[in-house]
Amino acid sequence: MRSTCQHPKGQSLHNTNPLHSAANAEAVLQKADLHEDLKKALRSVKPKLLIDGEFVDAAGGETFPTEDPRTGDVLLDVAEAQEKDVDRAVQAARKAFDHGPWPRMSGRERGRLIYKLADLMEEHLLELATLESLDNGKPLSVAKSSDLPEGIEHLRYYAGWADKIHGLTIPTAGNMQAHTYREPLGVIGQIIPWNFPILMQAWKLGPALAGGNTIVMKVAEQTPLSALRVGELALEAGIPPGVLNIVPGSGSVAGAALASHKGVDKIAFTGSTEVGKIIMKQAAENVVPVTLELGGKSPFVVCPDADLDAAVECAHQALFFNMGQCCTAGSRTFVHESIYDEFVKRAVKRASEKAVGDPFDESTEQGPQVSKEQFEKILSYIEKGQQEGATLEYGGKRIGDKGYYLEPTVFSNVTDDMSIAKDEIFGPVQSILKWSSIGEVLERANATEYGLAAGVFTSNLNWATTLSRGLKAGTIWVNTWNTFDAGVPFGGYKMSGIGREHGEAALSHYTQTKSVYQPLEEPLNWNM
Ligand code: NAI
Ligand code: MG
């Protein structure tokens, strides 16, 4: 379990210098002025499609570059799945489901193989964390202490479920035996984003694998590397070929091909609400179930009794963790009017002290944003915030002239109608709003199309309970933020999603129930 109200801790690997662009992976690495450990991590990846247990090129040879967000330079060229490659992957997953050992082996054996994958990820923790930081830009200290351990924990949690998935015997009216089986759904299409690549992969793999399904996973085009390495470790663990297929590629081609494929029995998606709607429409054509984990505009309500320094730190971490690129970002900081001015002053001080820099420096708290597209989107919101009349208290500008580094940014005097209070910015931009009564803040906090998370900071039991019950969101954090546990359901109200990840709730999305009726010839006799 982690809470991002604490400072991330970890050890430094070393300093790094920019990579140079080049088409060929080894040529890039040869020339790159890059620490040997980073090159070693990159060399561990097979930048291809994983289909039926083999790392293969796209049939037409297409590739796409994955970038180093510190510089914008190419890290590696990765095979780019097209429609026919996705089709190959779905066929491999179908074959593994219909004829392979995975759904047929005992749950205990499946669990053992998932545990083995978790063990291998632990053995390769530094290598995987390095890949994650290189591809995504997140501080290595955070990848090592948070993303990797949580992903591994998640797999272990579901490994433990694999032999505990079973049906029921149900009493019926009449002389009838009735019981249920919980069976896997079949081939699962999973589409994941770039903000927590390895963690999102683990969240999706855990319940799908434990349930005995086979998978085609479309990883984000910004961050394909760590997932591919995990795919190789899954094979090494003994998870049979075809059970986990990975197709890096674009959303509009590979993602759309997967979401609309007639051979897929369920779609699970994490990403923007906009794309979530498209996925749902595509799934409707094939009448397959969909789970969606989408965006948010989560309110964090600071009450007048709050320990101010603790509340400022928690609100800061709630928004700035992972460079603000969290679906759960506490992106509306509601502060009571009696402490508002002092809170803003301290929030600005905290933001101004933030260590922004190379993700491989030990002291770094904030690395670059993931991509040029996201970087520009955030800058445009900062501009809109100023135009619409919010007070820019701190930051707002780019740092340096290469890569996607941004100043931690704080706005005060933000009102509900402003774009920065309504839209998901997905960046290091804190918006501080003022409130005066519990009834009013509850209504305002809920006045959003989203409902992923919400939080309250107070020692007053009455306020904590009233707000926890009144806030319309799938997760409520009281005096903490971004605390997760593999066993506790996580998902969205309203347009933040459908279904739940984690816990038994997620497993139920990856199995289906079969009911069996069997008339008995003799009347039931308990004395027999
Ligand atoms: P996105 O929703 O476009 O991408 C997420 C995944 O969906 C990626 O793997 C992408 O390739 C895939 N995808 C995109 N279009 C698709 C389509 N038509 N069919 C099937 N798959 C498709 O998110 P993007 O463009 O990376 O970021 C845009 C915004 O979305 C962000 O600024 C942020 O507000 C939000 N977002 C939310 C996330 C969350 O965790 N809820 C994660 C990433 C982005
Ligand atoms: Mg997109």
Say whether pLDDT at 30 is over 80: no
Q: Is 322 in the pocket of ligand 1 (CB under 6 A)?
A: no
Q: How much is the pLDDT for 340?
A: 98
The confidence band for 33, taking pLDDT boundaries of 50, 70 and 90, is low
The confidence band for 334, taking pLDDT boundaries of 50, 70 and 90, is very high
Say whether pLDDT at 226 is over 70: yes
pLDDT digits (tens, 9 = 90+) for 88-120: 999 999 999 999 999 999 999 999 999 999 999
Is position 122 annotated as part of the catalytic site?
no
Segment 451-475 shows an average pLDDT of 98
User: How far apart are alpha carbons 22 and 204 in whole angstroms?
Assistant: 33
The confidence band for 272, taking pLDDT boundaries of 50, 70 and 90, is very high
Q: Is 294 in the pocket of ligand 1 (CB under 6 A)?
A: yes
The confidence band for 323, taking pLDDT boundaries of 50, 70 and 90, is very high
Say whether pLDDT at 404 is over 50: yes
Q: Report residue 293: phi and psi, to 5°.
A: -120, 105
Q: How much is the pLDDT for 29?
A: 65
The confidence band for 15, taking pLDDT boundaries of 50, 70 and 90, is very low
What number does the ligand 1 atom closest to the CA of 259 have? 20
The confidence band for 526, taking pLDDT boundaries of 50, 70 and 90, is low
Q: Is 327 in the pocket of ligand 1 (CB under 6 A)?
A: yes
- In angstroms, what is the span from residue 254 Cα to ligand 2's centroid? 13
- CA 5-10-13 angle, to 5 degrees, is 145
- pLDDT > 70: percent of the chain: 93
Ligand nearest to the Cα of 497, by number: 1
pLDDT digits (tens, 9 = 90+) for 176-198: 999 999 999 999 999 999 999 99
User: How far apart are alpha carbons 300 and 515 in whole angstroms?
Assistant: 45
- In angstroms, what is the span from residue 13 Cα to ligand 2's centroid? 32
Average pLDDT of the chain?
A: 94
Helix, strand and coil in the chain, % to nearest 5: 40, 20, 40
User: How far apart are alpha carbons 298 and 222 in whole angstroms?
Assistant: 25
What number does the ligand 1 atom closest to the CA of 425 have? 34
- In angstroms, what is the span from residue 199 Cα to ligand 1's centroid? 16
The confidence band for 37, taking pLDDT boundaries of 50, 70 and 90, is confident
Ligand nearest to the Cα of 295, by number: 1
* 524 contact partners, CB below 8 Å, separation of at least 6: 175
User: How far apart are alpha carbons 528 and 524 in whole angstroms?
Assistant: 9
Strands 266-270 and 290-293: parallel
In the chain, the domains with their CATH numbers are 25-294+501-511 (3.40.605.10), 299-478 (3.40.309.10)
Say whether pLDDT at 397 is over 80: yes
Q: Is 21 in the pocket of ligand 1 (CB under 6 A)?
A: no
Q: How much is the pLDDT for 154?
A: 98
pLDDT digits (tens, 9 = 90+) for 50-95: 999 999 999 999 999 999 999 999 999 999 999 999 999 999 999 9
Of 127, 132, 293, 365, which residue is the catalytic one?
A: 293
- In angstroms, what is the span from residue 251 Cα to ligand 1's centroid? 8
The residue nearest atom 26 of ligand 1, judged by CA position, is: 193
- In angstroms, what is the span from residue 302 Cα to ligand 1's centroid? 31
Q: Is 369 in the pocket of ligand 1 (CB under 6 A)?
A: no
Segment 253-263 shows an average pLDDT of 98
Q: Is the separation of the CB atoms in 300 and 267 below 8 Å?
A: no
pLDDT digits (tens, 9 = 90+) for 198-207: 999 999 999 9
User: How far apart are alpha carbons 337 and 343 in whole angstroms?
Assistant: 10
The residue nearest atom 28 of ligand 1, judged by CA position, is: 272
Say whether pLDDT at 47 is over 60: yes
Say whether pLDDT at 331 is over 80: yes
Q: Is 272 in the pocket of ligand 1 (CB under 6 A)?
A: yes
Q: Is 51 in the pocket of ligand 1 (CB under 6 A)?
A: no
- In angstroms, what is the span from residue 337 Cα to ligand 1's centroid? 36
Segment 271-289 shows an average pLDDT of 97
Beta bridge partners of 190: 217, 268
The confidence band for 521, taking pLDDT boundaries of 50, 70 and 90, is confident
- In angstroms, what is the span from residue 265 Cα to ligand 1's centroid? 21
The confidence band for 410, taking pLDDT boundaries of 50, 70 and 90, is very high
Say whether pLDDT at 475 is over 80: yes
| Residue whose C-alpha is closest to residue 1's, from 149, 195, 203, 161 | 149
Segment 9-38 shows an average pLDDT of 49
What number does the ligand 1 atom closest to the CA of 191 have? 9
* 250 contact partners, CB below 8 Å, separation of at least 6: 64, 80, 221
Q: Is 96 in the pocket of ligand 1 (CB under 6 A)?
A: no
The residue nearest atom 6 of ligand 1, judged by CA position, is: 193
Q: Is 218 in the pocket of ligand 1 (CB under 6 A)?
A: yes
Segment 335-364 shows an average pLDDT of 97
Say whether pLDDT at 6 is over 70: no
Residue where the block lists tokens 């309970």: 465
Ligand 1 site-directed mutation target among 250, 260, 272, most atoms within 8 Å of CB: 272
